[in-house]
Structure 1
């Protein structure tokens, strides 16, 4: 039995730019992906100074991680996006790049976008944390 995933935007809450305020998952197994970073398979930072290149690497890494547990982007039920910036325009650029990437469907569920002062690797501009309702 596949998990039933329902995404809800109550009429009484503000409209969103693509995500849903609430994601309900009926009984299933879940996977919690570690924060996906813009690192290649050798652990080297990709795209120093380039938000777009780093997001593309994160999307590729997340797609690989999802596939490793038999999931696809539409199985993501919660995402948190961390961007090293306090500029709302930069946050918007990151959101648009992620939602149009190969993992774009992941961001239609409950999602949070945060501007932060620092991430774990020197030169890292973005990180994505995903929770997944695994299909059977």
Structure 2
């Protein structure tokens, strides 16, 4: 079982935990999941953060399942969003946390605004590490 800690000596985080401790065992380090459809194309119209976030969620759920894990097994997440607008970063965060993938973001999580990601037109990417049951 994962242990989540928030020391009283640092600020209380909005939904995630500062520290996630997993029992000894195997970890699955998943590649950053991009908003790519099965045919390898970036989904959504230009600037469609919602469509891209939804595809990233679907891809994360698929790779977690292939590893034998569930969102609740995630011990670390990093979310990349192509934007300097904190409201846009928060909107992606909120959409992730309203999805089936939400338990993944209760552990140690980092949300970053970045200048660019690997695929032309890509706006969102999620990188996960899961403790295998």
Structure 2 length as normaliser, TM-score?
0.97
Residue aligned with 2:93, SS: helix
Residue aligned with 1:27, SS: coil
Matched, 1:29 2:26: yes
The residue number in structure 2 matching 1:85 is 83
1:60 and 1:102 in contact (8 A); partners too: no
The residue number in structure 2 matching 1:43 is 40
Question: Partners of 1:102 and 1:59 in 2: how far apart?
Answer: 8
Q: Report the CA distance between 1:83 and its aligned residue.
A: 0.3
Runs of 4+ in 1 over 3 A off after TM superposition: none
The residue number in structure 2 matching 1:119 is 117
- Describe the superposition over 1:67-126 as per-residue Cα deviations: whole angstroms up to 9, x where unpaired: 001110000000000000011111111110111111010000000000000000111001
Structure 1 length as normaliser, TM-score?
0.95
The 10-residue stretch of structure 1 (72-81 or 12-21) with the greater mean CA deviation from structure 2: 12-21
Question: Partners of 2:91 and 2:72 in 1: how far apart?
Answer: 22
Q: Report the CA distance between 1:25 and its aligned residue.
A: 1.0
- Describe the superposition over 1:26-71 as per-residue Cα deviations: whole angstroms up to 9, x where unpaired: 1010000100000011101111321011010000010010000111
1:33 and 1:130 in contact (8 A); partners too: yes
Query: For structure 1, which runs of at least 5 residues remain unmatched after alignment?
Result: none
Query: For structure 2, which runs of at least 5 residues remain unmatched after alignment?
Result: none
Residue aligned with 1:111, SS: strand
1:77 and 1:110 in contact (8 A); partners too: yes
